[in-house]
């Protein structure tokens, strides 16, 4: 008897058996995303030979230069998902306005999709890991057409979330609300196989990830946490820490899901017009759900990320996630700081400039 891991399709069918009334439309959404990711994995693997390295000469809604692969990845997602008729709206990092199904074509789609088609795209040209991140939300009942506000649901309402990592091997990591599971692409079969069932983030860890070039802009709780890590055995933590930074959040998240650690892209004072670097709806929420489903914790530093009510489709926010005890410690440092400094530091206190920015 062959002892072969099950495929993503088999996994989804088994999950669906628990919901006898389900139409299969949800599985179609996830499989369409997985197909788009397989296509992108091929393009990424061909590297410069695909003629897709370099910038596209355009900027996205965030004012960031778009790479050719950003643009292609966005189209791949849009095309793959529009065809099936199961999503009524799609929000992407690469588009100012969401794609909204016209009543006539996809009136019945039960879901909304938010995605970052190619996370970490500055790593493409240097041949480092990049990925795609997605979040599935329920569309409003009654088949009405979608408005932008329909995407503004807290992360706890996600039906599913996942990412594909285009690394030495391509992986698809998924939660449908019952644990977080990793599938590896078998390039011969063209199938994702369940190789990492029930990923668990260790509660404690000695590894952290942060872009330290921003240290002069950090707020005191983050500075305190990192300084204590750096002090190692001689400091209050009484143990040495290791540091890693890939600059593709999807790859940092994958390392943390596999062996623990903490990732921080906190709100800082670098650009007072922004309340963080990463985008809530298609970066933080999906990664947050995957991490929490694996027993880790995800936070803005002050509040659980999945409880935050979004204020706009491209909202940025501070993001800290990973091993539970480390994230709880960072949250505690934020609380302690508020207690300590609130009365006399108007720039940083609860009502101050840097706290109120959306």
Give the footprint of ligand F6P on this chain (CB under 6 A). Answer: 119-120, 211, 247-249, 265, 277-278
- CB distance 122 to 247 below 8 Å: yes
From CA 296, how far away is CA 313, in angstroms rounded? 26
From CA 196, how far away is CA 5, in angstroms rounded? 10
Nearest to ligand F6P of 83, 245 (CB atom): 245
Nearest to ligand F6P of 263, 333 (CB atom): 263
Q: What is the closest distance, in whole angstroms, from the C-beta atom of residue 72 to ligand F6P in the complex? A: 17
From CA 178, how far away is CA 293, in angstroms rounded? 7
HEC per residue, 6-65:
CEHHHHHHHHHCCCCCCCCHHHHHHHHHHHHHHHHHHHHHHHHHHCCCCEEEEECCCCCE
Cα dihedral angle (250, 251, 254, 256), rounded to 10 degrees? -100
Nearest to ligand F6P of 171, 278 (CB atom): 278
Q: What is the closest distance, in whole angstroms, from the C-beta atom of residue 243 to ligand F6P in the complex? A: 13
Q: What is the closest distance, in whole angstroms, from the C-beta atom of residue 128 to ligand F6P in the complex? A: 11
DSSP assignment letter at 98: -
HEC per residue, 251-311:
HHHHHHHHHCCEEEECCECCCCCCCCCEEHHHHHHHHHHHHHHCCCEEECCCCEHHHCCCC
Q: What is the closest distance, in whole angstroms, from the C-beta atom of residue 198 to ligand F6P in the complex? A: 25
Residue 181, beta-bridge partner list: 174
Nearest to ligand F6P of 65, 211 (CB atom): 211
Q: Phi and psi dihedrals of 78, rounded to 5?
A: -60, -50
Q: What is the closest distance, in whole angstroms, from the C-beta atom of residue 144 to ligand F6P in the complex? A: 32
Nearest to ligand F6P of 119, 207 (CB atom): 119
Q: Which residue is nearest to ligand F6P (CB)?
A: 249
Nearest to ligand F6P of 61, 247 (CB atom): 247
Nearest to ligand F6P of 192, 263 (CB atom): 263
Assign residue 115 a region: left if phi > 0, alpha if psi is -120 to 50, beta otherwise? beta
From CA 143, how far away is CA 293, in angstroms rounded? 30
Q: What is the closest distance, in whole angstroms, from the C-beta atom of residue 114 to ligand F6P in the complex? A: 14
Nearest to ligand F6P of 110, 119 (CB atom): 119
Taking Cα atoms as reference points, which of 181, 134, 200, 139 lies closest to residue 161?
134
Q: What is the closest distance, in whole angstroms, from the C-beta atom of residue 28 to ligand F6P in the complex? A: 28
Q: What is the closest distance, in whole angstroms, from the C-beta atom of residue 70 to ligand F6P in the complex? A: 10
């Amino acid at each position: 008897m062959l002892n072969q891991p099950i495929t993503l399709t088999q996994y989804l069918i088994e999950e669906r058996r628990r919901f006898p009334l389900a139409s299969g439309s949800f599985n179609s959404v996830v499989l369409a995303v997985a197909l788009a990711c397989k296509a992108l994995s091929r393009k990424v693997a061909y590297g410069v030979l695909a003629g897709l390295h370099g910038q596209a000469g355009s900027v996205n809604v965030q004012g960031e230069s778009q790479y050719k692969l950003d643009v292609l990845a966005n189209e791949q997602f849009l095309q793959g998902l529009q065809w099936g008729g199961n999503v009524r709206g799609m929000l992407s990092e690469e588009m100012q306005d969401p794609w909204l199904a016209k009543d006539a074509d996809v009136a019945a789609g039960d879901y909304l999709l938010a995605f970052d088609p190619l996370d970490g795209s500055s790593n493409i040209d240097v041949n480092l890991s990049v990925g795609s991140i997605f979040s599935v939300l329920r569309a409003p009942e009654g088949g009405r057409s979608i408005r932008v506000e329909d995407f503004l649901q807290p992360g706890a309402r996600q039906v599913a979330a996942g990412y594909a990592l285009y690394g030495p091997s391509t992986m698809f990591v998924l939660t449908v609300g019952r644990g977080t599971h990793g599938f590896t692409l078998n390039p011969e079969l063209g199938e994702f196989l369940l190789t990492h069932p029930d990923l668990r983030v260790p509660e404690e860890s000695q590894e952290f990830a942060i872009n330290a070039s921003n240290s002069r802009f950090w707020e005191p709780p983050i500075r305190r946490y990192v300084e204590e890590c750096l002090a190692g055995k001689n400091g209050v933590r009484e143990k040495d820490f290791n540091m890693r930074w890939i600059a593709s959040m999807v790859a940092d998240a994958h390392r943390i899901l596999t062996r623990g650690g903490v990732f921080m892209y906190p709100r800082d004072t670098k650009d007072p017009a922004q309340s963080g670097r990463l985008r809530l709806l298609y970066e933080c929420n999906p990664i947050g759900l995957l991490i929490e489903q694996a027993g880790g914790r995800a936070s803005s530093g002050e509040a659980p990320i999945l409880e935050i009510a979004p204020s706009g489709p491209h909202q940025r926010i501070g993001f800290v996630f990973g091993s539970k005890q480390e994230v709880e410690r960072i949250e505690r440092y934020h609380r302690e700081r508020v207690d300590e400094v609130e009365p006399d530091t108007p720039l940083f206190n609860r009502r101050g400039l840097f706290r109120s920015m959306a």
